[in-house]
Amino acid sequence: MAHIYLDNAATTPMAKQVIATMTAQMQDDFGNASSTHWFGRQAHTVLDQARQTMAASIHALPDNIQFTSGATEANNTAIVQVAHARQALGNHIITTAIEHPSVLKPLAQLEKEGFEVTYLPVDANGQISLADFDAALDDRTILVSVMMGNNEVGSHLPIAAIGARLAAHQAWFHTDATQAYGLLDIDVDALGVDLLSVSAHKINGPKGIGFLYRRAGLNFPSFIKGGEQEGKRRAGTENIPAIAGFAAAVSLITPQEKADRQAKYLGFKHQIQDSLRGAGVAFEVNGTVQADALNHVFNLWFPGVSTYALQTNLDLAGFAVSGGSACTAGSLEPSHVLTAMYGADSPRIGESIRISFGKATTTLDIAQFIQALIKIVTRLRAKAAK
């Protein structure tokens, strides 16, 4: 049985060029980038070149890039360390109700420490209201953390509009760009962001590596204590093979490639919707289908069909999809994103699946998936009706 992977929002397979780059690095440039001898200098050259690649991808400067173990560390660093460093200026933070757990959980800890956090609500499209943002912002606000795109429903949040509002405000602006990076053109100056988090494994790079963009002049203590790596901003010997692999993955995604992927994924969404409607299968989209959304994510509600049953049956048929964020897999907790969008009592919460496309996804993959999806949903509904 062939297996088709449609869970790319959780992680992506590494590109062949990435694997080749990492293999060469592990074989040839094994030195510690902090060492001053030839081997160390070779590794440091790879590190510098990768930093330039990352910076160029978001129109930043190389010194603005701090390598991390991934977006979770980057998010925790940007939130916890900034809050502690700036608490003399205020104790108020603004975020949204649909952030990734690596943002929400550090904020929950800060609330226990006495910080006040405003969680902006979202509508049925997974979108915040700028009027709500304006009402929440005050002279006590020291940090705003709003994701660029949501990992469960693909909504694209108004980062540039928020950045413009904060241009003359004391609050620093952080965005978790994990899902958007590799799909949207990102210019940190145009967006007005001060801090930005990214993870490599969402763009066909390796797991365990990411970066935090931090605008020049933003000073706060290192989250990880130890040596003086990363310009004294993040202790620990740099993972040169993973960093080189990350840079290789970034180099594969040109502006045209981003546009092509967005168009391709939007086409997949229409292909699925049209086929389901043609087959008379009742469903609704969680969120919206818009060209400027993160089109690799498609969340669908099938009334009367449990998420668990549908996901399990699709898996048995050879199709990998998700019930929501991979970071809450195995949890009995309902999706906080769908809860925020539709309310805690909505049947959508237990009857929805997330389909997410990737670079390798083909039209044939989607056609085969649609055929299986229609068959399984029809069978499960018939069984429930007995």
Query: Would you please indicate which residues are annotated as catalytic (active-site) residues?
Result: 327
Closest residue by Cα to residue 281 from 272, 292, 269: 272
Q: Are 193 and 165 in contact (CB under 8 A)?
A: no
| Pairing verdict, β 319-320 and 116-120 | unpaired
Q: Torsion angle of alpha carbons 305, 341, 73, 62, nearest 10°?
A: 120
Residues 52, 45: Cα–Cα separation, whole Å: 11
Strands 141-145 and 172-176: parallel
Q: Report CA 195 to chain centroid distance, whole Å.
A: 14
Instruction: Take residue 117 and report the two structure tokens written for it.
Output: 């956090």
- Give CA–CA dist 89/325, Å, rounded: 34
Distance CA 232, CA 236 (A): 10
